[in-house]
Amino acid sequence: MTAPGRWADLGPRIVSAAILAALALGAVLAGGVPFTLFIALACAIMVWELLRMFEPAGGGRALPVAAGAGLLMLLAVVLPHGLWLLPLGALIGGALAPRGQAIIIPYAAAILVAGFAVIVLREASLAVMIWLTLVIVASDVAGYFAGKAIGGAKLWPRVSPNKTWSGTVAGWLGAALVGAAAALVLGGGLALVALSVLVAVAGQAGDIVESAIKRHAGVKDSSALIPGHGGLLDRFDAMLGGALVLSLATALAGLPQGLA
């Protein structure tokens, strides 16, 4: 690929990313009801995209299932022990899909549980939400530019042919730098740096899982909602993985010093 062709999608990616980042940042800073509604809507859209990948021609079931997913997210937040509604809803909604239930059901559940985890993390601390977002963004941006500029050996060409080891390692380094900066400002020491890298690895795993699902469904992008980026699921797949692992780590050991 020539140098100009290698960077052909950079312009649309930057504009779309800036708009999406502004919306997400506004929701994160607002917190409370606006943030919960933002996450519920985002999760509903991602569930819609997931079902549409397996039923692109008609997609008649996708919209009501996605709407139900968004409502379940809101109920899960306000009801005691409402978290259990999310995998149950994914099971019911996925059962309505014409094909791909074995993928749709667990992945839809992961989307909803990750969304719930993000809401809980934001309620616990604005700092942890900003740090998590910066870790995922730094990993993604460093990986994108290093992969484009350096190239080299592919990470897993059968599943994600564009991902390289150079981009993967650059993503770890980018996350480590965010962790080091956060540790200097907020405290937390090397534990926060290590957690940042762990979250980045989980985010990359989330990206790879979504790539494998798209390849299985025979589609290039989850949708065409975001110019230069594909769908919302294509943008938030790393955040899903990172949020799930961070939520688990927090449940086991609590929030790191400085983020609580």
0.85 cut: is pTM over it? yes
Q: What is the pLDDT of residue 228?
A: 67
Question: Residue 230's closest CA among 73, 20, 5?
Answer: 20
> Per the structure, how many domains does the chain have?
2
Q: What is the pLDDT of residue 4?
A: 52
Q: Are 192 and 224 in contact (CB under 8 A)?
A: no
**Beta bridge partner(s), residue 230:** 226
Chain segment 181-224, per-residue pLDDT in tens: 999 998 878 889 999 999 999 999 999 999 999 999 988 889 88
User: Mean pLDDT across the stretch 229-247?
Assistant: 92
Tell whether 167 is covered by a domain.
Answer: yes
Q: Say if residue 9's pLDDT is above 90.
A: no
Final residue of a structural domain among 98, 124, 150: 124
Tell whether 7 is covered by a domain.
Answer: no
Question: Do 254 and 133 share a structural domain?
Answer: yes
Mean pLDDT of the chain: 88
Final residue of a structural domain among 96, 124, 152: 124
Q: What is the pLDDT of residue 59?
A: 60
Q: What is the pLDDT of residue 97?
A: 82
Question: Do 255 and 206 share a structural domain?
Answer: yes
What does the alpha-carbon distance between residue 207 and residue 45 come to, in Å, rounded to a whole number?
Answer: 17
Reported as a pLDDT band with limits 50, 70 and 90, residue 246 is very high
Burial 171-204 (b: 16+ CB within 10 A, else e): bbebbbbbbbbbbeebebeeebbebbbbbbbbbb
Q: What is the pLDDT of residue 175?
A: 96
Instruction: Note down the domain range covering 188.
Output: 126-260
Tell whether 73 is covered by a domain.
Answer: yes
Question: Do 109 and 60 share a structural domain?
Answer: yes
Question: Do 222 and 190 share a structural domain?
Answer: yes
67: tokens are: 């709407």
Q: What is the pLDDT of residue 120?
A: 93
What does the alpha-carbon distance between residue 15 and residue 3 come to, in Å, rounded to a whole number?
Answer: 20
Least confident of 34-48, 54-68, 232-246: 54-68
Question: Do 178 and 156 share a structural domain?
Answer: yes
Q: Say if residue 160's pLDDT is above 90.
A: no
SS3 per-residue string spanning 162-193: EEEHHHHHHHHHHHHHHHHHHHHHHCCHHHHH
Question: Do 252 and 161 share a structural domain?
Answer: yes
